Chain A
Amino acid sequence: MNYLLHILVMAEIYIILGLAMNLLAGYSGLLSLSQAAFYGIGAYATALLLVHTGYSFPIVLGVAVLINLIACIPVIVFSIRFRDLFFVLATLAWQVIIFTVLYNWVSVTNGPYGISGIPKPVIFGYPFESLPQFTLLAGALCALVLLFFYGLHNSPLSRYFQGVRDDQLVMLSFGKNPGYYKAIAISISAGVSAIAGALFASYYSYIDPTSFTLDESILILSIVLIGGLGTIRGSVAGALFYVLLPEVLRFANIPDAFAANLRMMIYALILILMVLYRPYGFFGNYRFE
């Protein structure tokens, strides 16, 4: 039972990350490789505040989101100044820079040794200590995020994001500034990723920079690609697929030492096959040209 709940928590975290990534890649056409950096900053901000200050989880979460809103400003600038491949590379660079900071700013982040002893969330005096309680909290946050993105999808903003993706000249022709909507999309995406980071930090009680590398960014991108770009279903499906894949391997009795790498091999293969033969992924309504 505990194991099932663990999987549920991981799924909830990755659904949140997937939705954030989808807003950029699926709706706005922004292939950002910085998502793990925002995930990481969210996790570190949460961890540091929970460990070193007495603030409660909701406040800490708010601060983590705010920090990400500031940290994503360079990405906003990149999205306006650079096009296509240059944008992707710039976000890649930003990801590595953030990772380098997390890894080397030992006085603040404790570098490679990570931060341990992160307490479980306490909201209005109610602690979420046990696994079932935490799963509930994660689930509630995940549901809120889903609701938010559902609302976003049905709002006029969704049109403007997609306009940025489909044809920026059209946007300009009708008086809509693409840069403004890129800024909104990137900010929302970074802020939401902080929520996932906060959950990750308080779930594992220990974090280190190696969870927030470029590989993780690539993974988050793959999740929404395989699940399908442009739809909420796609992001959810992609996250579930990623989290449940190792369980399938478990049936084949692969020894644990190999399991993690083998899982990634299979995942990578599926990614390649999707790109070649099913670019819409499982439930996507948009594909990169």
Chain B
Amino acid sequence: MILQLLFNGLVSGLLLALLAVGFSLIFNTTRVFHISHGAFYVGGAYAFYAILQSFQSQSLLFIVLSAFVALLIVMLVASIIEILIYQPLARKKSGQGITLISSMGVYLFIINGIATFFGNETKSLQLSSGGSIFLSNLVIAPVQLLQLLVSLFFLVLVLFVSRARWFLGVRAMMSNESVASVLGVNTSLIRLLAISFGSALAAVAAIMTLYDTGIDPQGGMAITLSAVVAVIIGGSLSLRGTIFASLGIALLQTATAWFLSSQWKEGMTFVLLILVFFWRTEGIVSYKMRVEEQ
């Protein structure tokens, strides 16, 4: 039974890692606390759903095609948000508060837009292929296998890309945007790529969840916040840290759902967040640090 719990946690953790890595990418390059990440998560699933339903067949070809188009849509909308909202605010040197609020506005707009067109109920799909795999004490549902493979693929891709040479420009930007810009790094382009790719990762996770527990318009915020906790705990600049933290949090949530009730898991995640805040020295507002920043 513990094995099943670990496995379930692992699979959810990988999905969560996709979201967390996406968020981390966006936050590090744009410095925006992109709370509307959840909207792109949900949006990706709904776009996929709508496109797939428009085809007669639901064969693998159309699934992949729909996914592809859905990702493009998500990337497009994310880019629009970046160009119309985040970049102008960055040019005005807006602080964290204002950009967070703008992101909240984007979230409300997109989520309510989705609810207007699709209604508020949960949408889900079924995988037509195969039965579960049974491995000693472990039951692997087909959708879990899909989630496992796809998540691993994308995570490995991201890790691989982050070691590439041209990614150095992105890294430079993450540490110091103005310096990077002076050194000729195209910060606007990187921001666009980051937000597109980050949102695409979220959409991928959502599409796979669509085949599992389903997606409803309100579901984006909860999982995004868990992803945010993972980024904060794992260290926003460390991809591996973020991934491991995601696995840890998903495991904690799965265990909570198993032993307590699934409703408590969100609360648990946030108790964890507050504990981490108290533990980290960065969060301290001691005026001493402010003075030294003079």
- A–B direct touch in complex (beta carbons closer than 8 A): yes
User: Contacts of A101 on B, CB cut-off 8 Å?
Assistant: 267
* Contact between B98 and A268, CB atoms less than 8 A apart: no
Of A53-61, A155-163, A270-278, the segment with at least 4 beta carbons within 8 Å of chain B is A270-278
Q: Which of A31, A218, A275 is packed against the most chain B CB atoms within 10 Å?
A: A275
Number of interface residues of A (CB under 8 A): 48
User: B261-294: which have CB < 8 Å to A?
Assistant: 261, 263-264, 266-267, 270-271, 273-274, 277-278, 282-285, 287, 290-291
Given contacts A88-B100, A168-B287, contact A93 B274 (CB under 8 A): yes
* Contact between B106 and A272, CB atoms less than 8 A apart: yes
What does the 1/0 interface line of B87-127 toward A look like (CB < 8 Å)? Answer: 01100001111101110111111001101100010000000
User: Contacts of A81 on B, CB cut-off 8 Å?
Assistant: 277-278, 283-285
* Contact between B264 and A104, CB atoms less than 8 A apart: yes
* Contact between A261 and B108, CB atoms less than 8 A apart: no
User: Contacts of B33 on A, CB cut-off 8 Å?
Assistant: 85
> Among A88, A100, A225, which residue has its beta carbon within 8 angstroms of that of B266?
A100
Does B221 make an interface contact (CB < 8 A)? Answer: yes
Q: Which of B89, B105, B267, B290 is packed against the most chain A CB atoms within 10 Å?
A: B105
* Contact between A104 and B105, CB atoms less than 8 A apart: no
User: Contacts of A90 on B, CB cut-off 8 Å?
Assistant: 273-274, 277
CA distance A1 to B37 in the complex (A): 43
CA distance A100 to B89 in the complex (A): 34
CA distance A122 to B103 in the complex (A): 44
Does B80 make an interface contact (CB < 8 A)? Answer: no
Secondary structure of the A side of the interface? helix
* Contact between A96 and B100, CB atoms less than 8 A apart: no
User: A65-121: which have CB < 8 Å to B?
Assistant: 74, 78, 80-86, 88-90, 92-94, 96-97, 99-101, 103-104
Does A184 make an interface contact (CB < 8 A)? Answer: no
User: Contacts of A221 on B, CB cut-off 8 Å?
Assistant: 101, 104
Does B225 make an interface contact (CB < 8 A)? Answer: yes
* Contact between A97 and B267, CB atoms less than 8 A apart: yes
* Contact between B264 and A100, CB atoms less than 8 A apart: yes
Besides A81-B283, A168-B290, A272-B106, 18 other A-B contacts (C-beta < 8 A)? A74-B274, A84-B96, A85-B96, A86-B283, A93-B270, A94-B274, A100-B266, A104-B261, A104-B264, A214-B221, A221-B101, A258-B116, A262-B112, A267-B108, A268-B107, A269-B109, A275-B89, A288-B94
